[in-house]
Structure 1
Amino acid sequence: MTLVAPDPTRTVPLPLREQADVRDRWLTQRLLDLLPTLMDRAGIDLWLVIGREYNEDPVLPTLLPATWLSARRRTILALHRSDDGVTAAAVSRYPVGQFVPAWSPDEDAGVPAEESQWAVVRRIVEQADPRRIGVDVSAEFALADGLSHTEHELLGAALGPYADRLTSAEELAIGWLETRLPEEIAVLHGLNRLAHEVIAEAFSPAVVTVGASTALDVAWWIRQRFADLGVDGWFQPTVGLQRAGVPLVEERGTTLPAVPYDAVIEPGDLLHCDVGLSSLGLNTDTQRNAYVLRPGETEAPAGLRAAMAAGNRMQDVTTAAMVPGRTGNEVLAAARATAAAAGLDGDVYSHPVGYHGHAAGPAIGMWDAQTGVPGAGDRPLHLDTVYALELCVRTPVPEWGGQTVRMALEQGISLTAAGVEYLDGRQTELILIPGA
């Protein structure tokens, strides 16, 4: 597993027990430093996060101790905003880390545990007398829609007249999931560094045997490498090829490479990967590109290098548009307008990344929604958030007879008061793989 050393560009092994200590420390800090402001912003006085074992609200694992790998039976967390901060109580059969235990079912002789549990929730609500009780229901964001139908009905029945105060906690849930501590951002520098190191190794003679290895071989090597390093991949890595003489194809409204994944890698090929790793409860999402040198070549053709430079320009116009307070759709429109004026042919489909790979927060386009994303794209950008800057450009390559190449890039970035920062830097030059 990985954690950032004093130098945030380095990753070092970290035992699981120490990982748990770090994650629990982060949780305490987040409850103290972030949650009061987020509750005030959302106008929520009491937040109820409820889930049952194997049917957890997506928010629930981000509030549980690191040693809790899932909910236990029915787990109910009550977070009450008061003048003193946030009181975090657990209505649970078992103690829940730093949450104040609010229920001792063994003391309720003769009363079914489930009924007693809901009665405690009712007492908490009566004592807090909140104006607005937030629950995780949302029509737009799956990550904020974790309260199951059954739990919603049982909660409403238990609250009686207080059920009229229930409201969607969408704003609060998304804010909690998307907002990062400075230390979490520092760790994400290290995790992105690890992803970059694995990609560099994958796109090298240590892994690629030109004329024998396939793109699929390389993808599976990346996944195995993550496992050997003790980190998880949150999706199956992909590696694709573009090749002179094999033009892009139109598929599902976009242009995609036509070389099969099981094709053998040959000199002159352009390789692309898409990988994401998970560690310490955080995720990365990265795409990088490599070129297989032909005999006698010492660098990639100028047309491919120009395509990489165009991709970097597309990154620049997108990050320049990422102004806090703008919605994802406004960022998308501004970036595409600037790109068009600069003669760039490309698409933007960036997204938040954090507790989840495709994480909570504003969508900045989708590959099949370049005029805006209803709902998710209408959410504004906030400071102290992290994104996967994902996009592509399409550029003709003279050395390939004018054939168009799709240069796709994806890189972790943070958005803070200091502006946009690339997490462990971005790719500006193609990785070169010797052809023999």
Structure 2
Amino acid sequence: MTSVALRAVPLPLREQADIRDRWLTQRLLDVLPGLMDRAGIDLWLVIGREYNEDPVLASLLPATWLSARRRTILALHRSDDGVTPVAASRYPVGQFLPAWSPDDAPGLSPERSQWSAVRRFVEQADPRRIGIDVSEAFALADGLSHTEHRLLTEALGPWADRLVPAEDLAVGWLETRLPEEIAALHTLNRLTHDVVAEAFSPAVVTPGTTTALDVAWWIRQRFADLGVDPWFQPSVTLQRAGRPLTGDRLPSVAFDAVVERGDLLHCDVGLSSLGLRTDVQRNAYVLGRGETAAPEGLRAALRAGNRLQDLTVAALIPGRTGNQVLAAARAAAAREGVDGDVYSHPIGVHGHGAGPAIGQWDAQDGVAGAGDYPVHVDTAYALELAVRHPVPEWGGQRVRMALEQGIALTADGVEYLDARQTELILI
């Protein structure tokens, strides 16, 4: 949505709700039919109880529903006319057609009456394959609770033989982004980058006084003041000459240490707005007295990180699995002598989103299950990785330059959401 991309965020809550509901309508019309065909599922049942929701459920509910209401059962039926969204719920569910009311069967308890309505709908639809959200590989596609699964199978009787895991459908639904959503992600990432730039500035950081923890809490407070939520607690860490990394990965400077001149600062932050998430890592250098630039060794480390980004983006080819992308990126990095790790992930409705895992920091040879899922177009990722690089000005001490940047993959290729970091922020 171009207007969202060009306007400041966050938008007023009412306008956000209107946008989210419009996106849902478009997704049900334009995205879901193809995903159901790809997964070979004729009827998708998404079921959750209040405060024990299926993770998929929130992506299907009206924006004004902040949770399920009692037991909410959504049925999405694929037919020649598209997808018919139906709800067996005590309360109206937005644009879903009502399929049940507690008054429909006075002689039955509301629970039995509700499940009977689901059975009737299944009989009328006569689906060949009924998808339910059970998955070993993806937590986000494993939202059907044990109790709901038992009650569903009991209610369906012989129709329960047609139940199949909806893993591919649930993941596809969660990972696929509309062009308007990608445009909004550009704006949300720009806001995230702006907050980081403000945090890594003399307005916030006073060398010798401000701690890394102070900066992390400033970022969280800034999000709150702007009217957006973090989806995780921001973190700020330090690297310093004479304080080598612990185990080649962890900074040896305490998380609440006072920032000093000559320090390398790193942050990891992410916000939530419009039902979408960002996940960003950036780096800054605190100038020493008389310095006007960061040491060349630190700038070279950032260039190495950018190169690993280039190699990973080049490997991100639709149809490849996450493990294949990881292997290709790491092989290319090895050929060029780049010492780094790749651990990128989908992002969108959830921060660590559904879709192919492209490594994990502790799994550089591949990720079982989620790493075997293929890359699709119209998806978004947090391009997350790190390099280790010697800094001559620090006596050859190696630093870990960690970067995380939003990207979108469309039929036209990969685009950076807002812009990636290519220069250290100077304080």
User: TM-score per shorter chain, which class?
Assistant: over 0.9
Question: What amino acid sits opposite 2:156 in the alignment?
Answer: L
Matched residue of 2:237: which SS?
strand
Distance apart, 1:8 and its partner CA: 2.7
1:382-397 alignment runs, 5 A limit: 382-397=376-391
Per the alignment, residue 280 of structure 1 pairs with 274
Matches within 5 A, 1:221-240: 221-240=218-237
Alignment of 1:75-94 (within 5 A): 75-94=72-91
When the two chains are superposed, the root-mean-square deviation of aligned CA atoms in Å is 1.0
Q: Which residue does the alignment assign to 2:416?
A: 422
1:138 to 135, 138, 143: 135
Of 103, 114, 118 in structure 1, the residue corresponding to residue 111 of structure 2 is: 114
Identify the residue that residue 191 of structure 1 maps to in structure 2: 188
Q: 2: CA distance between counterparts of 1:428 and 1:120?
A: 57
Q: Which amino acid aligns with 1:372?
A: G
State yes or no: 1:178 paired with 2:175.
yes
1:103 aligned counterpart, secondary structure: coil
Take 1:74 and 1:37, find their aligned partners in 2: how far apart are those partners?
Answer: 28
Note if contact 2:9-2:188 (Cα within 8 Å) is conserved in structure 1: no
Is residue 160 of structure 2 the alignment partner of residue 163 of structure 1? yes
Aligned to 1:403: 397
2:35 to 7, 19, 38: 38
**What amino acid sits opposite 1:376 in the alignment?**
A
Following superposition, the deviation at residue 110 of structure 1 comes to: 2.9
Instruction: Report Cα offsets for 1:33-90 as digits up to 9, x if no partner.
Output: 0000000000000000000000000000100000000000100000000000000000
Report Cα offsets for 1:387-415 as digits up to 9, x if no partner: 00000000000000000010000000000
The CA distance in 2 between the partners of 1:315 and 1:281, in whole Å, is 27
Once the two structures are superposed, residues 178-204 of structure 1 have per-residue CA deviations (whole angstroms, 9 ceiling, x without a partner) of 000000000000000000000000000
Matches within 5 A, 1:124-135: 124-135=121-132
Rounded Cα–Cα distance in structure 2 between residues aligned with 1:346 and 1:393: 4
Q: What amino acid is aligned across from residue 100 of structure 1 in structure 2?
A: L
Q: Partners in 2 of 1:10 and 1:427 — Cα distance?
A: 22
Q: Which segments of 5 or more consecutive residues in structure 1 lack a partner in the other structure?
A: none
Higher alpha-carbon deviation: 385-394 or 11-20: 11-20
Aligned mates of 1:106, 1:221 — CA distance in 2: 53
Partner Cα separation in structure 1 for residue 244 and residue 6 of structure 2: 38
- 1:426 Cα deviation from its structure 2 partner: 0.2
TM-aligned CA distance change 1:352 to 1:306, over 3 Å: same
Partner residue in 2 for 1:292: 286
In 2, Cα distance between the equivalents of 1:424 and 1:186? Answer: 10
Task: Provide the secondary structure at the position in 2 that maps to 1:180.
Answer: coil
CA distance in 2, matches of 1:100, 1:263: 57
Q: Residues 11 and 191 of structure 1 are in contact (CA less than 8 Å); yes or no, is this contact kept in structure 2?
A: no
1:6–1:68: structure 2 CA closer, same or farther, 3 Å change rule?
Answer: closer
Does 1:203 find its partner at 2:200? yes
| Residue-pair matches, total | 427
- The answer for the alignment partner of 1:23 in structure 2 is 20
Give 1:95's aligned residue. 92
Describe the SS at the equivalent of 1:225.
Answer: helix
Query: Residue type of the partner of 1:353?
Result: I
What residue number does 1:373 align with? Answer: 367
Displacement of 1:10 in angstroms is 4.9
- Contact 1:414–1:422 (Cα < 8 Å) also in 2: yes
Contact 2:344 2:357 (8 Å CA) reproduced: yes
Q: Distance in 2 between matches of 1:110 and 1:167?
A: 32
**Where do 4+ consecutive residues of structure 1 move more than 4 Å?**
none
2:296 and 2:235 map into 1 onto residues whose CA distance is 26
For the Cα contact (< 8 Å) 2:43–2:77, is it kept in 1?
yes
* Corresponding residue SS for 1:255: coil
Given that 1:10 and 1:193 are in contact with CA atoms closer than 8 Å, whether structure 2 keeps it comes out as: no
SS of corresponding position for 2:111: helix
SS at match of 1:236: coil
SS across alignment from 2:5: coil
The Cα shift of 1:108 comes to 2.4
The reply to whether residue 262 of structure 1 matches residue 256 of structure 2 is: yes
After TM superposition, give the deviation of residue 113 of structure 1 in Å: 0.6
Greater shift in the superposed pair: 95-104 or 13-22: 13-22
CA–CA separation in structure 1 for the residues paired with 2:5 and 2:311: 27
Quote how far apart the aligned CAs of 1:326 are. 0.3
Residue 14 (structure 1) shift: 1.5
* Structure 2: distance between partners of 1:72 and 1:256: 44
Question: Can you list the C-alpha shifts for 1:316-359, whole angstroms capped at 9, x where unaligned?
Answer: 00000000000000000000000000010000000000000000
1:58 aligns with 2:55: yes
TM-score by length of 1: 0.97
Contact 1:58–1:144 (8 Å) recurs in 2: yes
Provide the rounded CA distance (Å) in 2 between the counterparts of 1:227 and 1:5.
25
Q: Secondary structure at the match of 1:320?
A: helix
Question: Which residue of 2 is the match for residue 340 of structure 1?
Answer: 334
Partners in 2 of 1:8 and 1:100 — Cα distance? 32
Whether the 8 Å contact between 2:209 and 2:258 is mirrored in structure 1 is: yes
> 3-state DSSP class of the match of 2:3?
coil
1:274 is displaced (CA, Å) by: 0.1
In 1, the alpha carbon distance for the partners of 2:371 and 2:4 equals 35
For residues 213 and 257 of structure 2, what CA distance do their matches in structure 1 show? Answer: 8
Could you say what secondary structure the match of 1:8 adopts?
helix
If the length of structure 2 is used for normalisation, what is the TM-score?
0.99
- The answer to whether the 8 Å contact 1:5/1:12 transfers is no
Shift in Å, 1:7:
7.6
AA aligned to 1:31 is L
Residue 261 of structure 1: how far off its partner (Å): 1.1
Is the partner of 1:319 in helix, strand or coil?
helix
Paired residues of 1:9 and 1:189 also in contact (CA < 8 A): no
